[in-house]
Amino acid sequence: MSSFTNDKNKVIDLRKIGMFFMYLLGDFNFFASASDDIEQSLNIMTEFCLNINVNPDILRFPAYLLTADSPNYHTANHLLKTTIRNLSTETIKTSSTNVCITEKAWAILKSMLNCEQVHLGSSSLLLSALLHTNPSQIPVKEILTRLKSENLNELPIGLEGIAGYILVLGQANYSKKLNHIIVKLCHEVLQRVVSFHGKRKILTYNNGSGRISPYLYDGISGFLVSLCYQRDFDTKKLISQFQPEIASPFCKSGCAWDGLAGLALTNLIILNMNGSSDQHPLRIIKNQLLGSLQYLVFRHGEPKCVDFNTHLIVNSYSRGSQSIFDIISLYLTQKEEFNK
């Protein structure tokens, strides 16, 4: 590999281990050598892993050995142990049977919200902080006071806006008393429904911008997720009306917070909520995850994502590779449950 020509002997030994891992996984070292392109080879391997029901997270090990500027044995050994643990049958069995998929999805959402420091609309009340408290600790009065001061027309329908309020109020201890407020917020979202090429869409804002978004942070996925976690009334009929709008296998980004992986997560939550045995939604989710993997870049020893707006490489939880791998883990768990 031309990129290895200036490496010292110790580093070359580690590079060889990385190439050997590529060989063991499926002779991908031959393509890497022939094309002289490590990154493209790793990208192909991510899709291969998903197709054989293995989380591409295991590729952190060869990615570190092959793309880090100066890999070391200590870090390589740690990543190898993690890879072996993730591949063990005991770990797979534990992950697929002991934890409810909806709860694992909730944990992913909380991690993203915490990472993004999400505000409730224009207020300084962090949604992330609310999601880490017990229902009895949610400051409902403060939330309602701030909600009254909001210009709903200027709020997006996703988790950074109206859906954020719906989600938090639905988790409050006495949310039955808040149902009329939640219904009012849902009505505000439904007032934005428009017909576009014969299909029903929901405008992100009600300010004349005409923007339509499928994403978690500002769009329909965020709204649908907030409906999924309502404890006191049935939202399945409303969800079913708009779920087709998040079935696309293409997006501007592969990230979870503002990209394709977030659509896959939303579809997974809905699939689990419905308790359906239909395999079609699972195929949609797989295609979305395959699409999200295509956006990964391998730089400085790690798989990372590129921010669509800034074109900068990002590796935060909500916009980076780890949330994608966590969603893939959830998908593989769901698939295993279907195959039982």
Residue 210 confidence (pLDDT): 82
Residue 95 confidence (pLDDT): 47
Tokens of 334: 């769901």
Residue 124 confidence (pLDDT): 46
Low-confidence ranges of the chain (pLDDT < 50): 90, 92-98, 124, 126
Q: Write a three-state SS string for the chain.
A: CHHHCCCCHHHHHHHHHHHHHHHHHHCHHHHHHHHCCHHHHHHHHHHHHHHCCCCHHHHHHHHHHHHCCCCCHHHHHHHHHHHHHHHCHHHHHHHHHCCCHHHHHHHHHHHHHHHHCCECCCCCCEHHHHHCCCHHHCCHHHHHHHHHHCCHHHCCCCCCCHHHHHHHHHHCCCHHHHHHHHHHHHHHHHCCEEEECCEEEEECCCCCCCCECCCCCCCHHHHHHHHHCCCCCCCHHHHHHHHHHHCCCCCCCCCCCCCHHHHHHHHHHHHHHHCCCCCHHHHHHHHHHHHHHCCCEEECCEEEEECCCCCCEECCCCCCHHHHHHHHHHHHHHHHHHHC
Instruction: Specify the long-range contacts of residues 333-337, CB closer than 8 Å, at least 24 apart.
Output: 333/95, 333/96, 333/101, 333/104, 334/101, 334/268, 334/271, 334/272, 334/282, 334/285, 335/53, 335/282, 336/92, 336/96, 337/96, 337/101
Parallel/antiparallel/unpaired status of strands 199-202 and 193-196: antiparallel
Residue 308 confidence (pLDDT): 81
Q: What is the pLDDT of residues 26-53, one digit of tens each?
A: 999 999 999 999 999 999 999 999 999 9
Angle (CA) 60-63-66 rounded to 5° is 150
Residue 118 confidence (pLDDT): 62
Residue 215 confidence (pLDDT): 96
Residue 208 confidence (pLDDT): 79
Residue 87 confidence (pLDDT): 81
Mean pLDDT of the residues in the chain: 87
Residue 97 confidence (pLDDT): 42
Residue 214 confidence (pLDDT): 96
